Amino acid sequence: MKLETFNTILLVILVALSLVLTAFVWTFQSNGFESDNLITEEPQTLDGTEKQLADLVRPSHVYINEENNHFVFASKDDTEEAFVNGLSEWTLTNLKQSELSSIPDTSIELVYPVTISYSQLNTLFQVEGTNSDTSSLVNGEFTRIYLSNNDDNTTTLIFLNETLDNPLENVVTATVVNSVNDVINDKEDLLAAVPLAENQSNAWDQIYLPQNLQIENRVVRSETVSRDEFSNIYLDDPITLGDQYIDSNRLESVKFSNNGNYGTYYTNRTSSTRAASRAEQLQAAIHAINSHKGWTNNFRLYDVAGKGNFTFEFRMILDGYPVFQQNKLSLLSIQMQYGHPEPGRYERTLLNISSTSGRPDGEKTLTAQEVKNWISDNNYISRDIQDVAVGYQLEEFDSDIYKYKLSPYWYIEVDGRWIEVGDNTAGGTD
């Protein structure tokens, strides 16, 4: 074979090999880009925000007690919120279990709507030696915190669980270097309050009402999360049957009610993983809602129900006050499963209420005496009343711009139901 012929054949082989390798490289890159697109696909969200436990677990009441005189903050969304926010910067020391003979006469009292596990203290405060100091308290819970000033201007914190038979026999105390003297002594930011029942034997059973409170009515704009936005969080290509969206294997579904303003997701999937504690399930619930930025309004934890699989109920808050509505349009409720990262049932308002885009609509005066009179007139017994609160009633408003009106009322809680003071019907308010 001549040398030129050999070189020609070799050149043809090399060119062919080059073409094959080039085609392979291009095919590989194309598949790679396709894979990258799948990985970086944006998750479905409701365009809300993410929250931490300290944003959601907040006291429903803050009382300032000075012997026989009692006060509340004049502004819940200003001075009270600033005070509670500052607590997260406090560092707890000398954390220990104790027994007390009485509660201090002068204190700031924080009342929580649910029991809180001591294992979650380090999410609400800075705790010195968190890993060791809270380990012995992991199975305990508290419902109230008393802040009492010491002679050296430090503050003692008393964590008390009012659900125990004798709460004073099993309290937890801690110390912080911060002083609460200024808050107690500065009456300019406080309103006088009176006890609901004059002859209550235990300080931790007492409910205090501001004597006279003026709150603005408000009209507000709102938007509604679309059905597709909510259903797409959990369902891929669902079958639509009227107000219900069902996935192809019929293990998950989403149902809408109240003209599309309320959505309920539930699943028949089960998990065989270990049972999680209530505190762990609460963290999982918050994470589940954070995963789709589901905090479309300001919410706070107001109720926990169930055993094993706990249901956590978060209530909408506006200007520091809870919002009530008969069709649950102010609620977000999520039930977790044993050790499972996703909820078994998740129902929520799809309204996004914007108080910043609203306007005042007159002012209303609320007095403690009207609550007492109504309770007496309707034959309620003070010891059967679990709580009393000022809250906004969410009402439809006939306007092209403002869709809802927020009207302040007194509410009492009886047997877990909130009842509007002045409402003489048999039903409660959600």
Q: How confident is the model at residue 36 (pLDDT cuts 50, 70, 90)?
A: very low
Q: How confident is the model at residue 397 (pLDDT cuts 50, 70, 90)?
A: confident
Please give the average per-residue pLDDT across 415-429, as a whole number: 76
Please give the average per-residue pLDDT across 200-206, as a whole number: 82
Q: Examine the pLDDT at 392 and tell me if it is beyond 90.
A: yes
Q: How confident is the model at residue 243 (pLDDT cuts 50, 70, 90)?
A: very high
Q: Examine the pLDDT at 129 and tell me if it is beyond 60.
A: yes
Q: Examine the pLDDT at 340 and tell me if it is beyond 90.
A: no
| pLDDT at res. 29 | 43
Tens digits of residue pLDDT in 281-295 = 999 999 999 999 999
Q: Which two tokens stand for residue 124?
A: 């609400």
Give me the chain's average pLDDT, please.
86
| pLDDT at res. 222 | 87
Percent of the chain residues topping a pLDDT of 70: 83
Q: Examine the pLDDT at 28 and tell me if it is beyond 50.
A: no
* Helix/strand/coil (H/E/C) assignment for every residue in the chain: CCHHHHHHHHHHHHHHHHHHHHHHHHHHHHHHHHHHHHHCCCCCCCCCECCCHHHHCCCCEEEEEECCEEEEECCHHHHHHHHHHHHCCCEEEEEEEECCCCCCCEEEEEEEEEEEEHHHHHHHCEECCHHHHCHHHCCCEEEEEEEEECCCCCEEEEEECCCCCCHHHCEEEEEECCCCHHHHHCHHHEEEEEECCCCCCCHHHCCEEECEEEEEEEEEEEEECCHHHHHCCCCCCCEEECCEEECCCCCEEEEEECCCCEEEEEECCCCCCCCCCHHHHHHHHHHHHHCCCCECCCEEEEEEECCCCCEEEEEEEECCEEEECCCCCCEEEEEECCCCCCEEEEEEECEEEEEEEEEEEEEEEEEHHHHHHHHHHCCCCHHHCCEEEEEEEEEECCCCCCCEEEEEEEEEEECCEEEECCCCCCCCEC
Point out the least confidently predicted range of 127-136, 179-188, 255-264, 365-374: 127-136
Point out the least confidently predicted range of 261-265, 311-315, 393-397: 393-397
Q: Examine the pLDDT at 128 and tell me if it is beyond 70.
A: yes
Please give the average per-residue pLDDT across 53-75, as a whole number: 95
Tens digits of residue pLDDT in 304-334 = 998 878 999 999 999 999 999 988 899 989 8
Q: How far is CA 352 from the centre of its chain?
A: 15
Please give the average per-residue pLDDT across 347-370, as a whole number: 86
| pLDDT at res. 428 | 56
Q: How confident is the model at residue 137 (pLDDT cuts 50, 70, 90)?
A: confident
| pLDDT at res. 37 | 44
Q: Examine the pLDDT at 25 and tell me if it is beyond 70.
A: no
Supply the pTM of this predicted model.
0.86
| pLDDT at res. 34 | 39
Please give the average per-residue pLDDT across 170-178, as a whole number: 95
| pLDDT at res. 426 | 46
Which has more confidence, 3 or 364?
364
Which has more confidence, 163 or 6?
163
**Closest C-alpha to 297, from 237, 236, 348:** 348
Q: Examine the pLDDT at 188 and tell me if it is beyond 70.
A: yes
Q: Examine the pLDDT at 61 and tell me if it is beyond 50.
A: yes
Please give the average per-residue pLDDT across 62-74, as a whole number: 95
Point out the least confidently predicted range of 40-44, 80-84, 176-180, 297-301: 40-44
Q: Which residues contact 3 (CB under 8 A, 6 or more apart)?
A: none
